[in-house]
Amino acid sequence: MSNSNSEHPVPVPSELVQAALRVAQDRKAAVADVPLQAIAQEAGISRSTLLRRLGGGRSALDEAVRAAGIDPGGQKPVRERAIESGAALISSHGLASLSLERVASAAQCSVHSLYAAFGGRDEMLQAIFLRYSPIVDVEAVVATQPTDLESTVRKIYALMAKAIGREPRVMPALLAELLARPQDESVQSLIQYVYPRLFAGVGKWLTAEIAAGRIRDLPPLLLIQQMSSPLVMHLLLRPATQQIPDLPSPPIEEVCETFAGTFLRAVALPARASGDSGPS
């Protein structure tokens, strides 16, 4: 006969959860490492009463603590586990597989704890994108307002290659979804989050480079696409083309250098003389 408590977990009163959290905080320990006797004492009840209210064991208490958005112990925080589990789902099964229920199951947490950690599915997807895309690192590079155009471009190419080539393959999966279903609600939600941020960082840097007379005066969107598209296409096709016999596959460093050089030759302008005040 199956255990009814496992099928229908005993609801744990909030005062017991709070008692467990207080003891854990006082002891500077994880909730899972706090003896039930100490929790019972903090709650003002006997250990046997505590066990009865928990349904005979502490699994219901651990789950109630997780539902409050707190890791009871022995695992990474809910947010970290969810980001990693969500990334693995996207890489293996595509964006459609990213549901709060599936992530909660993979991350061993409750759906309620995911709402507490992120706010919703769209926000969770944004967090996964920020973790596995190059955007945060690229923002850090361009935020220093560099004057060395070539060095900055090469750093950006290296960051793009690292992000797209890493496991789990979140970026290839998201790019494939963007190409296959551009009108999908999840894709549109992510685009509406990413593009303003992209233009606030990379777009602002490119605009400054145009104003300084270092690159051609082209729309920032076209410059971003001209810079990223050749490398992105190569990296997306690379796992397949590497399987073709006798087809040379240059090292990633050489690929980045080639495409960075091509971009710079296409958009960079000759250095102005010191007396030149800028483009008319």
- Per-domain residue ranges for the chain? 12-52, 78-120, 133-267
User: Cα–Cα distance between 5 and 267 in angstroms, integer?
Assistant: 66
Look up residue 98 and give its two tokens.
């990213």
Confidence of residue 74 (pLDDT cuts 50, 70, 90): low
DSSP 88-112: HHHHHH-GGG--HHHHHHHHTS-HH
Closest CA to 98 of 216, 187, 207, 7: 187
Share of residues in the chain with pLDDT > 70 (%): 91
Entry pTM: 0.72
Is there a common fold for 12-52 and 78-120?
Answer: yes
Q: Is the pLDDT of residue 262 over 70?
A: yes
Q: Which amino acid is at 100?
A: L
Handedness of CA 38, 43, 47, 51 (dihedral sign): negative
Q: Is the pLDDT of residue 279 over 80?
A: no
Confidence of residue 258 (pLDDT cuts 50, 70, 90): very high
pLDDT digits (tens, 9 = 90+) for 151-178: 999 999 999 999 999 999 999 999 999 9
Check residue 276 and give its pLDDT.
55
Check residue 175 and give its pLDDT.
94
Report domain 78-120's class.
Answer: mainly alpha
User: Cα–Cα distance between 139 and 116 in angstroms, integer?
Assistant: 28
Using CA atoms, how far residue 33 sits from 23, 29, 62, 157, in Å, is: 10, 6, 11, 46
Instruction: Name the CATH topology of 133-267.
Output: Tetracycline Repressor; domain 2 (1.10.357)
Residues in the chain: 280
User: Cα–Cα distance between 275 and 270 in angstroms, integer?
Assistant: 14
pLDDT digits (tens, 9 = 90+) for 107-117: 878 888 899 88
pLDDT digits (tens, 9 = 90+) for 21-58: 998 888 777 787 788 888 999 999 998 898 888 887 77
User: Cα–Cα distance between 235 and 229 in angstroms, integer?
Assistant: 10
Check residue 6 and give its pLDDT.
41
Rg (CA), the chain: 26
Range from 7-11, 38-42, 81-85, 121-125 carrying the lowest mean pLDDT: 7-11
* Domain 12-52 coded CATH 1.10.10: yes
Check residue 146 and give its pLDDT.
66
Handedness of CA 23, 27, 28, 33 (dihedral sign): negative
Q: Which amino acid is at 268?
A: A
pLDDT digits (tens, 9 = 90+) for 1-24: 334 344 445 688 889 989 989 988
Mean pLDDT over 79-85 rounds to 92
Closest CA to 121 of 134, 104, 146, 140: 104
